[in-house]
Structure 1
Amino acid sequence: MTNSRCTLLIVSKAPVPGQVKTRLAPTISLDDAAELASASLLDTLDAARRTAVTARVVALTGELSAARHGAEIAAVLDDFVVVAQRGDDFARRLVNAHADAAGVAHRPVLQIGMDTPQVTPALLGDAAATLTRPDVDAVFGPATDGGWWALGVSTPDMAEILADITPSRCDTGDRTLRGLVQRGWRVARLPVLSDVDTPGDVRRVAGEVAPDSRFRAVARRLRQCGHHGLG
């Protein structure tokens, strides 16, 4: 059954070598890091395409023409509304992406990134359904590194709290959740997930994704090529 009241937003970057997953170096090359990022993005898009929501939006930055598997990603994006990220820093781009996504279907927005390829249509569908409950204003999915992997808000102005929170810190998740709660919004917690930033994350997430996922295939190939730091 289609969830008629939610937009799924994926904030992503074109997987161009040297511009994505650079924290995986020197364990693997920048080209291989981009391969992992591409696999993660494509797996995430596949899950999103099979999630029962009203609209699917991708806020994209970077040049797909220079990205690993850029043509394949572009073909998949035909099933999404694609908007360009805008803003002077990542926090502001997140805020603006929520506003742009809300303008597509005028519905609550559930936002994820491209670093959790283990998400499933069931997990995303449950999060979307929770966000649209009458007793919930927001949903929050914490990440194991102290950040968050999902944020859903009932109205785009609620995402303005992100403008004053520095991303990618060990307290980013706590500060985001505290900002939501302090404003009196009713927040439902989602499961904790690991996103992919470090070699340890690659090992962990490769064990959580579907057996036929692109991410697991790339991680396995890199291990077989001698990148033992990945598992």
Structure 2
Amino acid sequence: MPYPILDPAMPDASLQSLCALAIMAKAPRPGKVKTRLSPPLTPEQAAAINTCFLRDTTENIANLAAKAECMGVISYTPLGEEHLFEGLLPAGYRLVAQRGDGFGERLLTTAQDLLACGFSSVCLIDSDSPTVPREAFAMAVDALHRPGNRIVLGPSQDGGYYLIGMKQAHKEVFDNITWSTASVFDETVAAIREIGVELVTLPLWYDVDDAATLAILKAELLNDLRPEFTSVRGFSAGHTRSFLEQMDGCA
């Protein structure tokens, strides 16, 4: 059965106590997703592992949503390919279409649209970090449920962030950011300080977007080697683990 698609023009009062945990995702087509992992992976393998990342992250969030006041959402692109997510997501997920041109604009409009749908707060989450600890997502939800205005950031080891959460769609934190660089987190923190909003920082984690970070992921999931830059244990990511085991077995 297709997942419900949210419409910002039709707010839902039942969402008003919930934080939307929205994964920014492309429809999983070979050659269109995780292209920086090819090589070492083939385009087909890159698309397959992208699907594993998506399944693991959505299951991690769904398990949290069963206990906390939050809901899993996929903010997807391109429009018209929402059917490619059918069967990949846990029950209870909803979809919202991305709009806008640049990455910063798509983040901003996703936050605006989900708040317009009726959610009390929103976290925008990358689709490249399948082992983010569930505790990090829980910390974000807890921070956004507390009274007062604040922004939550989950820093990535590459200088970006894996999560940004807010109660209001602050345009300033998405403007004039040099995306896909090692300064994204620092520039975002500077923008938050400039507008005078409280900042809550989550545990440092990592994105898997090239051969080097794929090696970190393999060490974490196949050899139980915690990344050296964190003292926190990551999510088990069973779908990704099985894929990596099968890939290693075929090598």
Q: Is the alpha carbon distance of 1:92 and 1:215 closer, same or farther for their aligned partners in structure 2, counting shifts above 3 Å?
A: same
> What is aligned with 2:245?
220
Deviations 1:87-128 (A, max 9, x none): 012211111000111122241212211111113443311221
- Is 1:193 aligned to residue 193 of structure 2? no
Q: What residue identity is the alignment partner of 2:193?
A: V
Q: Does 1:55 align with 2:85?
A: no
TM-score by length of structure 1 reads 0.85
Q: Does 1:148 align with 2:164?
A: no
| Number of aligned positions between the proteins | 218
Aligned counterparts, 1:135-174, within 5 A: 137-156=150-169, 158-174=170-186
| Residues 203/64 of structure 1: CA separation in 2 closer, same or farther (3 Å cut) | farther
Bigger proportion of residues as helix: 1
Taking structure 1 as reference, are residues 28 and 5 closer, same or farther at Cα in structure 2, changes over 3 Å only? closer
**1:45 and 1:212 mapped to 2: Cα distance?**
10
Find 2:122's aligned residue among 109, 114, 125.
Answer: 109
- TM-score computed with the length of structure 2 as normaliser: 0.79
Distance, in Å, in 1 between the alignment partners of 2:236 and 2:165 is 28
- After superposition, the Cα gap between the structure-2 partners of 1:89 and 1:42, relative to the gap in structure 1 and judged at 3 Å, is same
Shift of 1:131: 2.4
The answer to whether the 8 A contact 1:194-1:205 is kept is no
Displacement after TM superposition at 1:218 (Å): 1.1
Match of 1:20 among 26, 33, 46: 33
Give 5+ residue unaligned stretches, structure 2: 1-15, 222-233
Q: More displaced, 159-168 or 33-42?
A: 159-168
Contact 2:17/2:119 (8 A) holds in 1: no
User: Which runs of 5 or more residues in structure 1 are unaligned?
Assistant: 227-231
Is contact 2:131–2:236 with CA below 8 Å preserved after alignment? no
Rounded Cα–Cα distance in structure 2 between residues aligned with 1:212 and 1:125 = 17
- The structure-2 alpha-carbon separation of the partners of 1:112 and 1:169, relative to structure 1 and needing over 3 Å to count, comes to same
Q: Percent identity among equivalent residues?
A: 29
- Going from structure 1 to structure 2, the CA distance change for 1:85 and 1:122 (only over 3 Å counts) comes to same
TM-aligned CA deviation for residue 165 of structure 1: 1.4
Q: Which moved more, 1:108-117 or 1:50-59?
A: 50-59
Asked if the contact 1:195/1:205 (under 8 Å) is kept, the reply is no
The CA distance in 2 between the partners of 1:212 and 1:7, in whole Å, is 21
Distance 1:159 1:224, change over 3 A: farther
Q: Determine the structure 2 residue equivalent to 1:72.
A: 87
